[in-house]
Amino acid sequence: MAHRSLDHLDKKILRLIAEDARIPFLEVARACNVSGAAIHQRIQKLTNLGVLKGSQFIIDPERIGYETCAFIGLNLKNPEKFDDVVEALRRIPEVVECHYTTGEYDLFLKMYAYNNHHLMAIIHDKLMPLGLSRSESSISYNAVIDRALPIDGMKVADSVLEEDEEEE
């Protein structure tokens, strides 16, 4: 698939808002030496292109009592039940990510628990009843790298940009 790079202004805007999602548009405009309206239009365009997916506050799980972070590979007894299992996983608040994967597992989860005992209870009481043939857990001691993707070199599909240009 062909890609086109974002322009310099787009990258600068993305760097600034990735660093601080609460930065006022006028402050971004000053840093970029353009008008506030131009920043608003660029943010809207990046959102419409799907480059920006919104903003959020990041809660530190450990500060609210979730001391155990685990990655769990799941193998389903009946892989045709993927959609049902994923829907059930959505209802387990401790599951924060779920990925369809290639390789050893059908699904790969990231989840938080208060402690190892709570993790074991979630696996036994909430995951196993979903029809697993097996699961494998790895507990994270600490995230030594936790960052957003770098903005430099970021590209967007030509087809997405062309669709946006046709709308203008």
Give pLDDT, residue 168: 46
Give pLDDT, residue 132: 95
**Domain spanning 61-140 has what CATH number?**
3.30.70.920
Both tokens assigned to 95: 């599951």
Domain regions of the chain by residue span: 3-56, 61-140
**Residues 116-125: contacts with CB within 8 Å, 24+ apart?**
116/68, 118/68, 119/68, 119/70, 122/92, 122/94, 123/72
Give pLDDT, residue 91: 97
pLDDT 10s digits, 37-85: 999 999 999 998 888 988 888 899 999 999 999 999 999 999 889 999 9
**Domain spanning 3-56 has what CATH number?**
1.10.10.10
Cβ distance 21 to 55 under 8 Å?
yes
Both tokens assigned to 30: 């000053």
Q: Where does residue 122 rank: exposed (0-12), middle (13-18), buried (19+ CB within 10 A)?
A: buried
Query: Whole-angstrom Cα distance, residue 158 to residue 6?
Result: 10
Give pLDDT, residue 161: 46
Q: Which residues of the chain have pLDDT under 50?
A: 1-3, 157-165, 167-168
Give pLDDT, residue 81: 92
